[in-house]
Amino acid sequence: MTGSVDRAVAGEGRRTGRRKVLVGVAAVMMLAGGGASIAHGAADGPGGGGHAAHGTASVGGSADGQASPGGKADADGQANPGGKTDADGQTSEVGMVGGASRSGGFWMRADGVFSPPGSFVPSDALTYDTGLVPAAARIEVTQYADRTTTRVGTRLRGLLPNRAYGMHVHTSPCAADPASAGPHYQHSASATADPVNEVWLDFRTDRNGAGAAEARHDWGFRDGGARSVIIHDVQGGAGKRIACFTVPFSS
């Protein structure tokens, strides 16, 4: 009788052990889920409405009038799809999201976690200089467009504190070679390289390593012409390419 009890206890112990292993594997897979997430929305008209978006939730609320999760409209009339906010103001993951503006435009949001090229967990956000853009730093890029205006905004955290960075929209996706992102996107090709003809998002981080910028233009992107943003080590029209984030800008 005692032997049967011992065998039963041992069997239960093995089953419990297997359950713990499975739970542990699931937790590791969840922690490894870096990369980028994308949300798109399209307005049905000036009165709002909008369509459900494709993709998962983005990181970061809205401080600049861009569409942001949270379930309510912001001050500029952008839709705030459902979601929850964590302790530092970042939006936790939600399922399907969408957005629309009262002016009849559309919005896009993409966020990513920087990692070096060739990392175990692939990412659309690549850092080529971890001394200036550390691995695990975060970036969010938003786009809003209506009949008259295109706004591109960015928010970053986890960078060096109190430092100036340059940033521009580029023509091609990111790759291991920083040059793969191509040149700056220009509204008028071969014209001047300045914030009027290009999308410049130069910013300076605060004491916590967070920064933000927004650019506004009365023109939109050509279809497929804008595919990434590059972070440079200096502000202005040039500088070393130190990080890149592939972004599906809409025309």
pLDDT digits (tens, 9 = 90+) for 10-62: 455 455 444 443 434 343 343 344 455 555 444 333 233 332 233 333 333 33
Whether 177 has a pLDDT exceeding 60, the answer reads yes
* HSE, side-chain direction, 13 A CA sphere, residue 225: 13
Q: Are 104 and 96 in contact (CB under 8 A)?
A: no
**Please, what's the largest Cα pairwise distance for the chain?**
91
The 10s digit of each residue's pLDDT in 205-218 is: 999 999 999 999 99
Would you state the pLDDT for residue 128? 98
Confidence of residue 101 (pLDDT cuts 50, 70, 90): low
Q: What is the pTM of this model?
A: 0.66
C-alpha dihedral, 128 to 133 to 136 to 140, nearest 10°: -100
Q: How far apart are CA 227 and CA 216, in angstroms?
A: 18
The pair of structure tokens assigned to 69 is: 């999760």
Q: What is the mean pLDDT of residues 127-148?
A: 94
**DSSP states of 185-223 as a string?**
-BSSTTS--STTTB-B--EE--TTS-EEEEEEESS-PPT
Q: Are 126 and 180 in contact (CB under 8 A)?
A: no
